[in-house]
A = this chain, B = another copy of it.
């Protein structure tokens, strides 16, 4: 029995995809997982720079590209040639959605800005992902994930108490931004389906970071002060015990997060029982949630002493099993090898012609019990014939001529 299924939620929806690297591709990939026909328009020489992280050299990291381009198609077109530009305009005429995340001003210089495209397709949903917003003082600046995370605040709130900031180890500036755009596209599509009316959507990576920073802004509104880093304890310092406790055998990720909520005093009494210290329940130092926060420095060594003689998995089993929120800190290899993800289709193996057998995470939402089925990321230009034939109705002779003239197809 397969652990995934084909879904056609977005069957018939056509996306012209000019995106590269991650912020844009993560957005169009979400649409592809859910059944849209997403066609990457790539330059014939090297394609999406995410295919070749060492420019001009052969692909040394196929996994990066596969992660963000599963289930898509690829067509190669020379956009510098007038015929290539005309070909892409023909695709845009037939499309529901176009998405791009080039450097500021680039798509307009190519002659494919919204003002041009809406003339030929007023119903299109035209989407742009940039580092900074139109009207921002940094509008023309370049940005990558880490720049968005610096300027969007996520770095300022991440790190150990009293030490320097660090970048969250996830590419939230990219995929986090892409998700907000994907939500908006599908809402816009519903309106377009009813009214025929298209629109322009724009998101800036800096702006999108605020959306993920909202608990911090509520903490600041209460305290009146910029939020300080405290990455080994619960946010806002309002629950104790709550945080990372080191476990055996002391490796770099041998930690368990144990959380007792002030919202549920049972967590504390249950924890005392689990660690064999029921005497603490009525200890005057720890009698209320507020006292436990105040006296956390005395509480911490008690929990740590219990945790350090157990592995993170044992600690999680005992604490989590007693209906107290608890989680072992899993590293990427433990996640990669976790059988449950595979059995549930949350990780699936991509059967790629050139790089077969790569197991990666799939779209995480299950539809009637199963996540969508993974399909290979495209080879550069793999679907040139398919798309020119099916979208534009070109015959074999016309396609051959475009290839011979180096307008479409391989370089």
Contacts and interface: CB of A to CB of B under 8 A. Distances in A.
A165 B344 contact: no
Given A169-B158, A184-B367, A231-B159, A151 B328 contact: yes
A136 B364 CA distance: 14
A331 to B, nearest CB: 4
Given A133-B366, A361-B210, A180 B181 contact: no
A222 B332 CA distance: 13
Given A202-B365, A203-B365, A365-B184, A63 B222 contact: yes
Contacts of A142: 320, 323-325
A80 to B, nearest CB: 19
Interface in A128-146: 133-138, 141-146
Contact of A168 (B181, B208, B231): B231
Interface string A260-300: 01111000000000000000000000000000000000000
Contact of A169 (B169, B181, B201, B227): B227
Contacts of A323: 142
Nearest to A238: B53
A329 interface: yes
Interface string A1-33: 000000011110100000000100000001100
Interface centre among A67, A193, A227 (most CB of B within 10 A): A67
Contact of A187 (B10, B157, B222): B10
Given A156-B329, A179-B183, A334 B367 contact: no
Given A191-B9, A361-B214, A367 B201 contact: yes
Interface residues of A, number: 150
A168 B165 contact: no
A91 interface: no
A158 B231 contact: yes
Interface of A: 8-11, 13, 22, 30-31, 34-35, 49, 53-55, 60-61, 63-64, 66-68, 133-138, 141-160, 163-172, 174-177, 179-184, 186-191, 193, 199-204, 207-208, 210-222, 225-229, 231-232, 234-235, 238, 242, 244, 246, 252-253, 255-257, 259, 261-264, 320-321, 323-336, 340-341, 343-344, 346-347, 358, 360-361, 363-369
A169 B367 contact: no
Interface centre among A13, A261, A320 (most CB of B within 10 A): A320
Given A147-B326, A221-B63, A334-B226, A164 B232 contact: yes
One complex includes copies of this chain to the number of 2
A214 B166 contact: no
A324 to B, nearest CB: 7
Contacts of A242: 146
Contact of A215 (B64, B201, B330): B64
Given A54-B262, A166-B244, A213-B361, 15 more contacts: A9-B190, A144-B325, A146-B257, A160-B163, A169-B227, A170-B216, A171-B215, A184-B367, A186-B186, A200-B368, A203-B366, A210-B341, A220-B332, A226-B333, A226-B334
A201 B144 contact: no
A214 B134 contact: no
Given A166-B166, A169-B231, A331 B146 contact: no
A320 B170 CA distance: 23
A232 B150 CA distance: 11
30 contacts: A9-B190, A9-B191, A34-B183, A55-B263, A63-B222, A68-B214, A136-B340, A146-B234, A147-B326, A150-B244, A152-B330, A152-B335, A154-B169, A155-B329, A157-B331, A158-B168, A158-B231, A166-B229, A166-B231, A168-B170, A175-B211, A183-B186, A183-B365, A200-B367, A203-B365, A204-B364, A211-B363, A220-B333, A226-B331, A229-B252
